[in-house]
């Protein structure tokens, strides 16, 4: 299921900018931002990925009342949920996968007040052999972010990889 409603908020942008360590005041100071070419607060370049917060099926977020693979008293033996047909994460990868590539095309920049929805399309899948990690299975997902007027805002392309074994550094 794609994201039906991702309401972009200034406070979320502020906390996201802090998390990536970017002190640029365009991400948190409205009066400063109004004096810039951006004309107001905008989201940092990778912010679209936070649409995961609004994906009801997102497997990497604990759900109230449901088993979770993270540790409690013990490391837990709960296996990560296998990908199911209707599921799509922003990264398009299985629960045991790694994020291989991410690409964004900006038709315009995201701003507080935008209400975004996504359309998710599977792309190619392919395999490669790796010395460090065995057989690698790649899969591509294309996510289109549109605003409440139907205008295309961001096109995101994500490539996930499932490794045969934990990658050795």
> Under the rule (CB under 8 A), what is the footprint of other proteins?
12, 15-16, 18-22, 24, 26, 36-38, 42, 44-46, 49-50, 52-53, 58, 60-62, 69-71, 74-76, 98-106, 109, 157, 165-167, 169
Between 18 and 121, name the residue whose CB sits nearer to other proteins: 18
Between 10 and 102, name the residue whose CB sits nearer to other proteins: 102
* DSSP per-residue letters across the chain: ---S-EE--HHHHHHHHHHTT---GGGT-HHHHHTSTT-S----TTGGGGGGGG-TT-TTS--TTS--SS-SSS---PPPPPP-TT---TT---TTEEEEEEEEEESS---TT-EEEEEEEEEEEEEEEETTTEEEEEEEEEEEEE-TT--EEEEEEEEEEEESSPPP-
CB of residue 86 to other proteins, shortest distance in Å: 19
CB of residue 85 to other proteins, shortest distance in Å: 21
Between 76 and 148, name the residue whose CB sits nearer to other proteins: 76
CB of residue 155 to other proteins, shortest distance in Å: 10
Between 115 and 166, name the residue whose CB sits nearer to other proteins: 166
CB of residue 150 to other proteins, shortest distance in Å: 21
């Amino acid at each position: 299921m794609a994201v039906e409603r991702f309401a972009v908020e200034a406070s979320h942008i502020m906390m996201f900018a802090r998390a990536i360590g970017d002190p640029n005041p365009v991400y948190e100071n409205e009066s400063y931002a109004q004096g810039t070419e951006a004309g107001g607060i905008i989201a940092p370049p990778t912010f679209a990925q936070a649409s995961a917060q609004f994906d009801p099926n997102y497997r990497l977020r604990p759900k109230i009342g449901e088993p979770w693979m993270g540790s409690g008293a013990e490391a837990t033996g709960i296996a990560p949920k296998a990908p199911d047909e209707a599921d799509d994460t922003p990264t398009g990868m299985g629960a045991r996968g790694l994020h291989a590539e991410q690409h964004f095309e900006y038709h315009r920049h995201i701003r507080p007040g935008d209400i975004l929805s996504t359309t998710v399309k599977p792309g190619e899948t392919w395999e490669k052999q790796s010395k460090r990690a065995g057989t690698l299975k790649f899969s591509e997902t294309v996510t289109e972010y549109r605003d409440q007027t139907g205008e295309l805002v961001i096109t995101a392309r994500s490539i996930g990889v499932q490794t045969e074994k934990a990658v050795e550094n």
